[in-house]
Chain A
Amino acid sequence: MSKPTHSRAESIARILPALNYRKIGLAFVVMFFFAFFISPIWTGFVTAFKTTGAVTSTTPFIPPGLDGFTLEKWSTAFDYLSRGMVNSLVMSVPSTIASVFLGSIAAYGLTLVDWNERLQFSILVLFLVGIFIPYQAVLVPLSDFWINIVGVDGLLEPLGNLPFFTARHSRLFAVTVTHVVYAIPICMLLFRGYYMSLSDELIEAAKIDGASITSIYRRIVLPLSKPMIGVVFIYQFTMIWNEFLFSLTLIGSSSSPAATVTLVLSGLGSDLTGVDFGLRMAGAFVAALPTLIIYVLFAEQFAEGLASDR
């Protein structure tokens, strides 16, 4: 026998899932942090659609009204940044691929190949030290090395006749190589963790099957590295794309034909008349677009690489 009627409070309680203060508190904390992290992105996003007048007349995180809405900032930012984006792509893609590939080879040599263990360890330590060299400490010697010792400006001069190519573009080459060198240790470390968890018996089976060191890498280790390649590729591409200091030191100014997107972005929307916030925000989103695209393309491997936890 059930009671024929319920009080109003009782029936609400029956609809709601079992709530207690702990759960409610948790929900509030999650919501707070969500708002905390999303608000700057949201504010930037709505600001990018505002006219210069609307930026000053409206609250930053309120979307613009119909009269204050414009797409002009986006097209301006895109026109302005496209040159830098091409330069950045020309620099980031090869240097990411090279550092992923070299990092993986180095990790293979330090984990799955049998040779002097002490020497292996010393080399590993050198790699680790490489990760912790601060960028700022090497800036002066780095530019001295590329510009005065290597003479990178003259190095690629024979290519000067190619369309769209000016001598200044050779600086991009310097930035590319610098990124590869700086990225190898961290890539090596990421791959090393993964390779250490690969079954030794797999490699041993391949050895007994007659496979050489190189063909074990090419036919067994590299195909099995796919999830990790996804992770390292996303990570490294984002790092290199967003990097500013090396570009600034080696390329110099945002007006250079070789300027990368971060360099161009630094000069975008600020001149003697003041700061154009709408343009800057639109520029920031345009500049971040390629990393988003890469993330979507590699998301599956990324998830797999993290989930496999190896």
Chain B
Amino acid sequence: MANLSLRDATKTFNDDGDEIVAVDNLNLEIEDGEFLVLVGPSGCGKSTTLRMVAGLETPTGGSINIDGEPIHRQTPQERDIAMVFQSYALYPHMTVYENMAFGLEESSDLPDDEIEERVHTAAEMLGITDLLDRKPGELSGGQQQRVALGRAIVRDPKVFLLDEPLANLDAKLRAEMRTELQQLQEDLGTTTIYVTHDQTEAMTMSDRIAILDGGTLQQVGTPMQCYHEPANVFVAGFIGEPSMNFFDVTLEDGVLVGDGFEYPLSEEALASVEGTTELVLGIRPENVEIGDDLSGPKEFSGVIDVIEPHGNENAVHLRFTEAATDETFTSTVDGMRHLTGGQSVGVSFPEDAIHLFDGTTGEALRNRIVEEVEQVQEIGTK
């Protein structure tokens, strides 16, 4: 039980005289019992951050504290943390029982019977009791993954660190483990940092998401905040599947002029982008409405390019009829709706649903208006 904080945590690597900044002045507060997901594309510094917390990398600057006490000068052995690696890193020459008991034997003075009891309790919790006598080499990927989790749980540490633990599982198992892991963390109430590049995992599992790119923190918030109120273009594009549509537009006399469309803004929306003319218009695929007839100034004519059926919904790739380039954008529509490639349709962007970003900095100037957002957030933050 602990809260963890990173203050200005920085890590630079020296590569033949070139300094590479892996993590740049990262500030994060993780509450006691919170499940925080660090997410970002590969090379964004999320794993380095995790390794700094674990003590496997020494931060070049800043501090890392558990319950207010700085731990960044301590060795990994001295920090009361447990980590699950992507490769699981099970000791191949030891049985599952020995793997799970190893940490307790090394880090505590518990008597053997106490260790045995704790290992059995953890094994029961994960349903791996009948595997205790086997070696890791005899286990399937999913079973190894459970053992790796068990090895962390049995220690009852202050903080769990999980480094893409589900990356090596097949899709079905991954979805199962996602719920199970989330349930487990809730039951144990241990502060957890979970690193992944998969935004679905981030959205579904976390109490809060921290999105990193290029070593800098882009946004921290509940999944719903990050989804509906992204801080910038990067977050807006990273969170959500299929990802948000972006259009480069210029503001001319209260009208957004893009490639193949002109979008008049309301007074209210204009006020929020005041002074900026180079903008990026963003809209999520589920908000792009496809109709048959064209009426009103916020509807445009488009042509359907390709349809990807997903069963419950279809992802429709469209082009503006009057666009100069071939660039497509995506809309998701009900799976039962009948559309065909090449069909001409009317496309509308409801103003409530559009996001506007600064064209140069990428910062969000106006996010979509969602009435339920307040409510959703409350559920999200618990």
Contact = CB atoms under 8 A, between A and B. Distances in A.
Interface stretch (B60-68, B101-109, B315-323): B101-109
B215 to A, nearest CB: 21
A138 B85 CA distance: 50
A208 B92 contact: no
B91 A208 contact: no
Residue from the set B55, B76, B86, B108 with the largest chain A CB neighbour count within 10 Å: B76
B93 A209 contact: no
Residue from the set A204, A205, A219, A223 with the largest chain B CB neighbour count within 10 Å: A205
B83 A205 contact: yes
B106 A211 contact: yes
A208 B56 CA distance: 9
Given A207-B75, A209-B151, A215 B92 contact: no
A4 B85 CA distance: 70
B77 A211 contact: yes
A204 B56 contact: yes
Contacts of B75: 207
A239 to B, nearest CB: 28
Interface residues of B, number: 24
A204 B91 CA distance: 11
Contact of B89 (A201, A211, A219, A223): A201
A210 B107 contact: yes
B155 interface: yes
A209 B56 contact: no
B81 interface: yes
Contacts of B107: 209-210
A5 interface: no
Contacts of A255: none
Contact of B77 (A210, A223, A224): A210
Contacts of A212: 77, 106
Interface string B143-165: 00000000100010000000000
Interface in B79-133: 81-83, 85-87, 89-93, 102-103, 106-108
A98 interface: no
Residue from the set B77, B87, B92, B108 with the largest chain A CB neighbour count within 10 Å: B77
Nearest to A203: B89
Interface string A240-261: 0000000000000000000000
Interface in A175-220: 199, 201-202, 204-212, 215, 219-220
A115 B82 CA distance: 23
A212 B108 CA distance: 12
Contacts of A209: 82, 102-103, 106-107, 151, 155
Given A207-B77, A208-B76, A210-B107, A202 B102 contact: no
B87 A208 contact: no
Interface string B133-148: 0000000000000000
B337 to A, nearest CB: 48
Nearest to A213: B77
Contacts of B77: 207-208, 210-212
A65 B11 CA distance: 81
Contacts of A202: 89, 91
B102 A204 contact: no
B54 interface: yes
Which size bracket describes the interface of A in this complex? 10 to 19
Contact of B93 (A206, A215, A224): A224
Contacts of A206: 91, 102, 106
A281 B87 CA distance: 56
A224 B92 contact: yes
A100 B155 CA distance: 35
Given A210-B106, A220-B91, A205 B155 contact: no
B13 to A, nearest CB: 13
B105 to A, nearest CB: 9
Contacts of B92: 224
Contact of B103 (A201, A210, A220, A223): A210
A206 B102 CA distance: 8
A212 B75 CA distance: 10
A220 to B, nearest CB: 6
A209 B75 CA distance: 11
A168 to B, nearest CB: 44
B102 A208 contact: no
Interface in B39-83: 54-56, 75-77, 81-83
A263 B76 CA distance: 54
A204 B107 CA distance: 14
B106 A215 contact: yes
A208 B81 CA distance: 7
Contacts of A204: 54, 56, 76, 83, 85, 89
Nearest to A219: B102
A102 B92 CA distance: 24
Nearest to A224: B93
A208 B93 contact: no
Contacts of B151: 205, 209
Nearest to A209: B103
Contacts of B82: 208-209
Nearest to B51: A204
Given A207-B75, A207-B77, A208-B76, A201 B102 contact: no
Contacts of B89: 199, 201-202, 204-205
Contacts of B106: 206, 209-212, 215
Contacts of B103: 208-210
Contacts of A207: 55-56, 75-77
A211 B151 CA distance: 14
Contacts of A220: 91
B267 to A, nearest CB: 57
5 contacts: A205-B90, A205-B91, A206-B106, A207-B56, A220-B91
- Shortest beta-carbon contacts, A-B, top 4: A210-B107, A209-B103, A201-B89, A205-B89
